[in-house]
Amino acid sequence: MHHLYVSFPTLGFPLIPFPFSVAAFCVWLTLLGAETQDSRDCARWCPENSSCVNATACRCNPGFSSSSEIFTSPTEICDDINECVPPSKVSCGKSSDCKNTEGSYDCVCNPGYELVSGAKTFKNESENTCQDVDECQQNPRLCKSYGTCVNTLGSFTCQCLPGFKFKPEDPKLCTDVNECTSGQNPCHSSTHCLNNVGSYQCRCRPGWQPIPGSPNGPNNTICEDVDECSSGLHQCDSSTICFNTVGSYTCRCRPGWEPKHGIPNNQKDTVCKDMHFPTWTPPPGVHSQTLSQFFNKVQDLGRDFKTSSAKVTIQSILKELDELLEAPGDLETLPRFQQHCVATHLLDGLEDVFRGLSKNLSIGLLNFSYPAGTEFSLEVQKQVDRNVTLRQNQATMQLHWNLAQKSGDPGPSVVGLVSLPGMGKLLAEVPLVSEPENQVVRNETHQGLLPILLSDVISAFLSNNDTQNLSSPVTFTFSHRSVIPRQKVLCVFWEHGQNGCGHWATTGCSTMGTRDTSTICRCTHLSSFAVLMAPYDVQEEDPVLTIITYVGLSLSLLCLLLAALTFLLCKAIQNTSTSLHLQLSLCLFVAHLLFLVGIDQTESKVLCAIIAGALHYLYLAAFTWMLLEGLHLFLTARNLTVVNYSSINRLMKWIMFPVGYGVPAVTVAISAASRPHLYGTADRCWLHLDQGFIWGFLGPVCAIFSVNLVFFILVFWILKRKLSSLNSDVSTIQNTRMLAFKATAQLFILGCTWCLGFLQVGPAAQVMAYLFTIINSLQGFFIFLVYCILSQQVQKQYQKWFREIVKSKSESETYTLSSKMGPDSKPSEGDVFPGQMKRK
């Protein structure tokens, strides 16, 4: 392609291609016209911030720049040059900054600085005289109250005075620091912190004073307790004794004195009066010369009583009481209810008198015993955090000391125990009021039968007379006469009746354990206690039920033995199912056999406990195998439509022995470890009913027969669906009947009939007892019937065994006959031997 070039030499333009010639020509005409004008007209088209050069071109003013130094294009502009950034080499010096302006720049001091001359700007580093401004001096109120202004280079900060801190919402406002609540105070533990504005003080607490040489207020103050009693600063009444406490003191009655009515003891304003011998008079309405003589002697002791002779007075009262109980005299001729009233009056009076007299005793332990067996043990002790045990020949009491402490009385505490073997003479034929459920049983089965007192009667008392609901129980251990077999031992206490007499009761007391001649009791209140032997379990057994039990179990033993031999010897039927049948048969066989020979072996406590534990384990193991039987039956029925027995067999082989024997072992081990003394009762080698111990057996049994009942219902439903799809011919109907019978028999085999034992209540109790005994004693028979007699495989095996036995017997008879005839003998014409035919 060729171009046409046009030249404008006058203007100095180079050759321009023709396509641009038109535009260039227009520019040339414009410049040519401008050349003829006066130079003053040049500035009309020069841009802002520029000046005309030679009336033909423009140049930007200093501080501005364009694309070229001189330009003639009217579209050119002059931009401001930023002298404060590279490549400019402007330097303002330290503590200053360069600020660009229109066409120029200025140097200014940084905030917080100013020029010495007071000017605001300068041009270069040589003119820089910037120096720090002291804002704190210019405006002393920059920081608010409790704050101090501190000048810094180019700025200032506010600092709070000691004991103050900034408010979070205002960094210039200081507020007081509460050193006492913030944990910043170093006050000694013997002082009390008092906050002040901007500070705090460590002051001695009330009842304290600075130790010698210590100030009272600064943070190094150390205080000590003021002994108001020794310093004479107390205000105790003369009838009291001052006892110093930490930071204070109390006023306590003198020995042999007691607070006036309505005035508490151990207070600063306590006022006391001389303590008299406790009032103890004969019970009203009782006429007995022996009892009157006893109370006359007691009153003589009261008239001569002095607080310093409290110990001698206690011994004298005990001696008189021991003699009274050893020879009651005409008290034994009183009616029984009056004897009970006398006993109530004596027990109550003893407790009140001994509690009052013990306040005059010094700290220590007292033990007295008397010819008729009366024993007295008492311990006086200051506040301690431990148990106390009082031991006597026939009884022991253990409790925690805090039970003896009377509320609001920091003085010594008293724990006392009196054993009164002779009190049993006055407490003959006393009725027993037991727990409601036990009382109903006794009223129904033992009307007119009264409990027998086994132990000494003991009476316990504390300095704290509020003993009806103790915060922790008291434990008593009694030694007593041997317990008659088939009797129940009870821990009882003496409860006052509304008529002023009383009766034995069990509420709040429990029997923790008993042996032949000792019993452990635990009570949540204090009174007079004893151990009784009550006829709870002497109920006569039904002889018919006993016969049914022994006959049924004997038959079951025979059937279980035959079933076990069948499962062991019959190779053709051995599989997972027969393994389950075998283990169940063995467990039931051993359990029933041990039950028959060992359930009544109560003479030896140890042997009886071992038998009870073994029966517990064997019957639990039997029920566990029943559970496994139910599980296997359900899994087999579920897989009727899909033949998948191999997975069931693998599962059962893996779990059956650990579950069948391991789970019962763990259950029995836990029961034996927690309460071994509850194995074996007075009349049976079985589990105790006390403390819910029997549920260590009933709980698993209930769970197992409930699960097996569910399995049975599911299996019955599955079989019903399966059989409904079969043809209704005669053989099918017969098979259906047989399966229905076997399924029903599974109820007995799986232990579901044990639920009858829970229905032995109300009018139908006796009927249910007979059903329960008959059905469950024949469980072994049902196992042999279903798994052996009604099994076609077992029937064939029995037939095979029978033929082999008959054949063996025939061969034996043939051999015997041949031997009798001898080698030369010939058989008669009518003799035919097995395997031979008669020749004609």
Is pLDDT above 80 for 746? no
* DSSP classification of residue 482: P
Q: Does domain 5-80 have CATH number 2.10.25.10?
A: yes
b/e sequence 522-561, b meaning 16+ C-beta within 10 Å: bbbebbbbbbbbbbbbeeeeeeebeebbeebbeebbebbb
Residue 135 belongs to what H/E stretch?
Answer: helix 135-138
* DSSP-derived secondary structure letter, 43: G
Q: Inform me whether the pLDDT recorded for 96 exceeds 60.
A: yes
pLDDT value at position 246?
86
Asked whether residue 34 carries a pLDDT value surpassing 50, the answer given is no
pLDDT band at 757 (very low <50, low <70, confident <90, very high): low
What's the pLDDT at 2?
Answer: 43
Instruction: Give the amino acid at 448.
Output: G
Q: Is the peptide bond before 543 cis (omega within 30 degrees of 0)?
A: no
pLDDT above 80 for 286:
yes
16/679: higher pLDDT:
679
CA atoms of 342 and 501, how far apart (whole Å)? 8
Q: Which of 89, 64, 63 is nearest to 76 (CA)?
A: 64
Q: Are 526 and 495 in contact (CB under 8 A)?
A: no
pLDDT in tens, 527-567: 888 888 766 544 446 778 888 888 888 998 999 999 899 88
User: What CATH architecture applies to the domain 289-534?
Assistant: Sandwich (2.60)
Q: How far is CA 75 from CA 42, 65, 72, 169, in A?
A: 14, 14, 9, 58
**Tokens standing for residue 498:** 């509304």
Task: Quote the CA–CA distance of 208 and 246 in Å, as a whole number.
Answer: 9
What is the distance between the alpha carbons of residues 13 and 413, in angstroms, rounded to a whole number? 129
Averaged pLDDT of the chain: 80
For residue 399, is pLDDT > 70? yes
Delimit the domains of the chain by residue range. Answer: 5-80, 181-225, 240-274, 289-534, 547-731
Helix, strand, coil percentages, rounded to 5, for the chain? 45, 20, 35
User: Given the DSSP bridges, would you call strands 528-534 and 452-453 parallel, antiparallel or unpaired?
Assistant: antiparallel
> Which pLDDT does position 256 carry in this prediction?
67
User: Would 5-80 and 289-534 be classified into the same CATH topology?
Assistant: no
Distance CA(779)–CA(753), nearest Å, equals 10
Residue type, 64: F
Within 10 angstroms of residue 580's Cβ, the number of other Cβ atoms is 23
765 compared with 135, residue with greater pLDDT: 135
Q: What is the mean pLDDT of residues 402-431?
A: 85
Per residue in 593-630, is it b (16+ CB within 10 Å) or e — as a string?
bbbeebbeebeeeeebbbbbbbbbbbbbbbbbbbbbbb
User: What does the block give as tokens for 433?
Assistant: 């009021």
Closest-CA residue to 795 (of 555, 564, 557, 572): 572
pLDDT digit string, tens, across residues 432-463: 887 554 443 444 444 446 788 999 999 999 98
Give the pLDDT of residue 55: 83
In the CATH hierarchy, which top-level class contains the domain 240-274? mainly beta
Q: Would you say 536 and 446 are in contact if contact means Cβ atoms under 8 Å apart?
A: yes
Q: Which of 577, 552, 544 has the alpha carbon at shortest distance from 781?
A: 552
Which of the two residues, 501 and 538, has the higher pLDDT score? 501
576 φ/ψ angles, rounded to the nearest 5 degrees: -60, -40
| DSSP assignment of 73-97 | -TT---EEP-TTSTT------TTEE
Give pLDDT tens digits for 41-60: 566 788 888 999 888 899 99
Residue 141 pLDDT > 50: yes
CB atoms within 10 A of CB 280: 19
- Residue 329, pLDDT above cutoff 60: yes
Strands 50-53 and 147-152, how do they pair? Answer: unpaired
770-812 tens-digit pLDDT: 887 887 788 888 888 888 887 778 888 888 888 878 777 766 6
Residue 831 has pLDDT above 70, yes or no: no
* pLDDT tens figures, 590-624: 999 999 998 888 878 889 999 999 999 999 999 99
pLDDT, residue 538, reads: 42
pLDDT in tens, 256-271: 677 887 777 778 888 8
Cβ contacts of 293 within 8 Å, gap of 6 or more: none
Q: Could you list the beta-strand ranges (E) of 268-405.
A: 272-274, 364-369, 375-381, 387-391, 395-400
Q: Given this model, what pLDDT does residue 649 score?
A: 67
Superfamily holding 547-731 = Rhodopsin 7-helix transmembrane proteins (1.20.1070.10)
Mean pLDDT of all residues in 327-352: 90
- Domain 181-225 class in CATH: mainly beta
Amino acid 594: pLDDT: 93
Give the pLDDT confidence of 705-729 residue by residue, as tens digits: 888 888 888 887 887 777 666 555 4
% of the chain surpassing 70 pLDDT: 80
Give the phi and the psi of residue 670 in degrees, each rounded to 5: -65, -45
Task: Say which amino acid occupies 9.
Answer: P
